[in-house]
A and B are shown apart, each in its own frame.
Chain A
Amino acid sequence: AQKVTQAQTEISVVEKEDVTLDCVYETRDTTYYLFWYKQPPSGELVFLIRRNSFDEQNEISGRYSWNFQKSTSSFNFTITASQVVDSAVYFCALSEASGAGSYQLTFGKGTKLSVIP
């Protein structure tokens, strides 16, 4: 079973539309962290946000917002008024203990967002 599920493989929106990227995770740990990364067409991985399992407050950063709901094990990402520069693959990731004192970041399969001008 996948630990991080991003059910939307690809999404296309027209510029200025809002779009939400879904992320559902699975863990037995009570303490864990969730991340979103962006991979633009140039290929690098850009960190966007980190959220710990005890903080369910929504977060907003400019046009980006994140909705963390522990009850549904979801950490969704919304882009408001999308722009062409938002076109990228977005990854959700889970950081949890992997045994023997080490920690591991597990990625979802990514959602490819295309914003059409």
Chain B
Amino acid sequence: DTAVSQTPKYLVTQMGNDKSIKCEQNLGHDTMYWYKQDSKKFLKIMFSYNNKELIINETVPNRFSPKSPDKAHLNLHINSLELGDSAVYFCASSQTGLLQETQYFGPGTRLLVL
């Protein structure tokens, strides 16, 4: 049983397109996150949601819009894709978003914008 799953695993698309990445967790966690890992492997938080409510929204272009239909899902929609959006996007979850909690990561979605 996969704890945190993401679809698709790979996404190749043209500049200017709109795309979505889906994330689901079956751990019963309240808090979910999106991270971006760039070509130099640097991991940075983008968003976090707790019980469908936006908690953290880092400096991310507003072309990126997270959507949480329920606490087990956090999808990432990206409008007007740009070359610089090419990266690996990781979804993660933790119990309630508190300081001491471990975040469990999905397998990542490798996005390539051509």
Contact = CB atoms under 8 A, between A and B. Distances in A.
Interface of A: 31-33, 35, 37, 39, 43-45, 47, 50, 52, 89, 91, 95-98, 102-107, 109-110, 112
Contact of A52 (B43, B88, B100, B108): B100
Given A31-B99, A50-B102, A103-B97, 4 more contacts: A43-B108, A47-B102, A52-B100, A105-B103
Contacts of A104: 45, 48, 56
B43 A107 contact: yes
A89 B43 CA distance: 12
Contacts, number: 57
B34 interface: no
Interface of B: 40-45, 48, 55-56, 88, 90, 92, 97-108, 110
Contact of B44 (A44, A45, A95, A107): A107
By DSSP majority rule, is chain A's interface helix, strand, loop, or mixed?
A: strand
Contacts of B101: 95
Nearest to B88: A43
A35 B99 CA distance: 11
Given A107-B42, A109-B41, A44 B107 contact: yes
Nearest to B103: A105
Contacts of B44: 107
